[in-house]
Structure 1
Amino acid sequence: MSQFLKATPICLLFLALSLGLSAQKPGPLATYEPIYGPSVVQLKNFYALSLLESPDASRILLADPALRSLYQQKNDHLSRAVKECGSDVGCYTGTMKFTEDEIKLVSGRLSQLYKADNGLGKLVKDHLIPSGTYILYDSLPLGELLVKAWELEARGLNHVLEVYAEGMKPNYPAIDSIAFNTKSRSFGTLAYDVAELTRQEGNTSLFFSPSLQYALRWLEVNGRDEAADYEPMRFTENKAAFLHARALDSLAAWDKFKYSVILVPGSGPSDPSVALSPVGMLRCRLGALRYFDGLAPFLVVSGGRVHPFKTKYSEAFEMKRYLMEVLHVPEEAIVLEPHARHTTTNLRNTVRLLFHYGMPIGKPCLITTTRSQSLSIGSHAFVERCRRELGYLPYRLGERLSDTDLEFFPSLNSLQIDHDEPLDP
C-alpha cells in the first residue's frame, strides 16, 4: 500500500460527504471523486457501510433503539467469546455474522429512517448513485436502493467470515481459499487472538461496526489485501496514463483512434518464482503491435496477484514493466488494472477504469490476446459465465477482426460492486 494511502485519514471520507459531491441528474458520474481512507479494502468491499459511518448518517443510526440493541448484542458477543469459546472457531464467528432475521430487521429500520432530506437521503443522492457502486439498482426508489446496498454488503461480510475464518470454499478455491489449516490447534488460538484484538480496538458503536472490523481483521491475517493494490492508482502506477487521458479532452482527439483502449489480459505462471509467464509475454507483444499500429492511445494490462496461490507477483504490474522495458511502450500509454482475478473481471475492471478516467464510454475497445482465450471470450459459454458470476454482461461484443482480436463495447453495469469476491469486489 502506498504512503499516500497510509497518510490519508478517514476525515477525507467525511469531508467528501459534507461537500455533497454530486449532480442533479441521477446516474453514475465520471466526475464523482472516489473516496479514500485508511482501509481501502473496507471502502472497496463495503462502500455503503463506509458511507454510513459519516457524521450525518451515523447520528440517525445511533439514535435508533433497535439498531443500538443490535450493536450491543454483537459487541457483547466479542466480550463473551474471548472468555468462553476457547478454540471453537464457530463459536467466535457464528454470532458475528448477520442472520436473515437481523438483515431484515435492519432493512426495516433503514426504510423507516430514510428521508430524502436527511443524512441517509444525502448519502444515496450524493454518493451511492453518482459512484455507480449499486448501478444495477438505480431504478429503485432511493430508500430501497439504500436497503438493497445494506443487504448485499451484509451478505458480503458474512461471506468473508465463512471463507476466511471458517474455511468455506470460495468461488475459486485454487486461488482464493483461506491461508490456514482450520483443523490445527494453532488456528483455534488465532481465532481467539482475532476476536480479542477486535474487542480491544473498539468501534464506532454503529450496528455493523463489530462485525465489519472482525471481518476486516480476518482478511488481514489471511494476507488478503489484493483489493488495495496500488490504490489510488491515478496517483500511483496510473498517474502518467491518467494525465494523458485528461489531456485528450476533446472528442476530436479521440476520433483519431479507432478504439479507446486495447485490453491485454494477463496469464499467471505456475511457478511461484516466475514473475511473468510466457503466455503473458506473448500477449504483451500482440498488444504492443496493435498499439504501434495506432489503433488506440492506451493499452490496458489486466490481471492481479492470482496464480499460483498467494503469489507475490501482479500480472498487470509485470506486464507493464515488460511493455516499457522490453517493447518500449511509453508509460503514459499503459493503464494498469491490477485487481482482476478472472477473464470476466478483466473486462469489467477495464470498463471501470475507462469510466473513471474520463475516456469515451461509447467508443469501441479492442481485446487482444492469445487465440484460445480470444475464442473463449467470443463464445456463448463466456456470456453465460458472466451472467452466472457477475449477474450481468460487462460488455457488448463487436466485430471479430482475427483469431486474436475482438471488439467490445463497454457496459456501465460494470460499476456494480461484487459482494462475494472480496479480493476484487
Structure 2
Amino acid sequence: MRLPIALFLLLLTLFRAGAQQHTAVQAYQLVVGKTSAYNPFVQHKNYYLLTLMQELPDLRKAVAADQVLKQLLRSKLSKGNSALKTCKNDIGCLANSIKFTDAEITQVSERLSALYQTDNIFGTTIKNHLLPSGCYGLYQQLPEKTVLTKAWEQDAKAVNYAIGVYVEGQKPNYPKIDSISFQPGDKAFASLIQSNLLLNTSEKETLFFEPTMNFALGALELNGRLDAADYEPLISGPNANAIAQIKKTNFNKYLYSVILVPGAGPEDRDTELSAGGMIRCRIAAAQYHKGVAPFVVVSGGRVHPYKTKYSEAYEMKKFMINTLHIPENAIIMEPQARHTTTNMRNCVRLMFRYGMPLNKPGLVSTTASTIPYIAGILAERCRKELGYDPYQIGKTLSATEVEFFPNSLSLQIDFDEPLDP
C-alpha cells in the first residue's frame, strides 16, 4: 500500500529527527567540571556521566536526594572508614573497600532505570548530553533508558580499572609505558593510599560515587599520571589560533581537511624529539607546502621512554614552527595519544570537536615503513582494543601517504585507558 506523499514526508522527517537524537552533534560543547576535587580534564574525559551528575544542578539535586543512592553513599563511607582501622598496610584490602562491587554496580543500574522518565532530568540529560556528546556512542542505538545504565556501568568499570592499575598494581594494557609508579611492598605507598582513602571518605562527599571516583583520581595524581590533562585546555591554549583559523577556512579549496603526523618517541630521557619524529614532520611539511590540506595535526603524548617529560606532539609542533616554518595557526596539537590506534582516533576527535567537515578525508603522512601498517592491520587492532573502527582507510597515495575518512564513533570513551581515554 502506498502512503500519501504528505504522510510519507512527515514520517521521514520524524524518522530523521529521531535518528539525529541518537548521534553525536558537532556543535555540542563538553561539560568540564568546576566542582571537581581533582583535575577536571582527567575526570570528564574518563567519567563523563559522573561529571554531569556533579555539574548539572537539577541532575545533581535528583541524585543527591534519592534515598537508595544516599544509602549507598553511607555504605561506601562506612566501608572505607572501617578499612582504615583494619587493613593497616594491606593495599588490596584498602582498595577493595572503596571499589564498586558488582552488586553495587547492578544496584545503581536498577535505580537509575527506575528513576528515568523521558521528560524528567534523567531523560533530558540523555537527550541533551549523553547522546550528543558521543562519549557513549557504542550504545547510541539502544533505548535511552539503557544508554543511561550502560553509561553508568562504563564509568564504574573505568573507576575500578584506574584503582586496579594505579593502586593494586595490576598490569595495564601497555605495561612498559603505563604501569604503576611504585614498587610492590612499598610501605611509603601504602601510607599514601591510606591518606588518599581518608581524604575521600569524609562526610563532605555528597554523591554516591564521589568517594570511589575521587579515590581513583587521587591515585592517578599520586602516580604522576595526569597525562589526559596535558596542555589542557587545548581549545583556549595551544590550539586556539588554529581553531580561529578553522572558522575562516574554505575547506572546498583543499583535497584533505588535515595532514596527520603520528608521533615517534625516543628511547632515552635526554632526547626531546626522535629522528623518526623529525623525518615524519618533514614528510608532512612537504605535503602542507603543496597545499593539499590547510592544517597539520601533530599527535603523540608523553610515552617513550617510561614517564618521559617530553611530549611528542609539543616537540613536533616546535620543530615544525622553528625549523620547517609552518605557520603556528596551521598546527593542531594532539598531546594525549599513546599508540598508533589513538593517533588516528584522537585526530578524528579533534576534527569533530573543532568543526571540520567530516565528509572530507584526512591524510596520514609518515615514514614508508609505517604506511602498510596503518593501511592494513591497524584497523583490526583498533577493533580489538577500542571496539570499533575510528576511521575508514582510503587510497594509499604513495610510500608515505594514505587517506582516511573519519568516524564519529571515535568520541567513545575508552574505559581501560585512563591516561588517554
TM norm structure 1: 0.91
1:319 match? 316
SS of the residue 1:295 aligns to: coil
Point out 4+ residue stretches in structure 1 off by more than 3 angstroms. none
Pair 1:238-2:239 in alignment: yes
Assess, with a 3 A threshold, how the Cα gap between structure 1 residues 363 and 47 changes in structure 2: closer, same or farther: same
1:356 match? 353
Per-residue CA deviations over 1:78-125 (Å, capped at 9, x if unaligned) read: 222222221011111102111211111111110000112211112111
Report deviation, 1:214: 0.7
Letter in 2 for 1:168: Q
Letter in 2 for 1:78: G
TM norm structure 2: 0.92
2:72 match? 70
Pair 1:370-2:367 in alignment: yes
Letter in 2 for 1:414: S
Per-residue CA deviations over 1:252-307 (Å, capped at 9, x if unaligned) read: x2111110000000000001111100000000000000000100000000000111
Per-residue CA deviations over 1:191-213 (Å, capped at 9, x if unaligned) read: 2121122235x544221111011
Per-residue CA deviations over 1:159-218 (Å, capped at 9, x if unaligned) read: 000000000000000010000012122222222121122235x54422111101111100
1:406 match? 402
SS of the residue 1:255 aligns to: helix
- Count of aligned residue pairs for this structure pair: 397
More displaced 10-residue stretch of structure 1: 317-326 or 82-91: 82-91
1:11 match? none
- Rounded Cα–Cα distance in structure 2 between residues aligned with 1:236 and 1:63: 38
SS of the residue 1:288 aligns to: helix
SS of the residue 1:366 aligns to: strand
2:10 match? none
Summarize the alignment of residues 19-418 of structure 1 with structure 2, pairs less than 5 Å apart. 25-26=20-21, 27-38=23-34, 39-53=40-54, 54-200=56-202, 202-248=203-249, 253-379=250-376, 381-418=377-414
Letter in 2 for 1:220: E
1:15 match? none
Letter in 1 for 2:217: L
SS of the residue 1:232 aligns to: coil
SS of the residue 1:233 aligns to: coil
SS of the residue 2:261 aligns to: strand
SS of the residue 2:271 aligns to: coil
2:3 match? none
Letter in 1 for 2:321: M
- Rounded Cα–Cα distance in structure 2 between residues aligned with 1:323 and 1:188: 44
Letter in 1 for 2:283: L
1:423 match? 419
- Rounded Cα–Cα distance in structure 2 between residues aligned with 1:204 and 1:267: 42
Q: Percent identity?
A: 50
- Rounded Cα–Cα distance in structure 2 between residues aligned with 1:90 and 1:239: 44
Matched-pair contact (CA < 8 Å) for 1:237–1:336:
yes
More displaced 10-residue stretch of structure 1: 325-334 or 63-72: 63-72
SS of the residue 2:235 aligns to: helix
Structure 1 vs Structure 2 CA RMSD: 1.3
SS of the residue 1:183 aligns to: coil
Assess, with a 3 A threshold, how the Cα gap between structure 1 residues 238 and 377 changes in structure 2: closer, same or farther: same
Report deviation, 1:320: 0.3
- Rounded Cα–Cα distance in structure 2 between residues aligned with 1:122 and 1:209: 22
SS of the residue 2:404 aligns to: strand
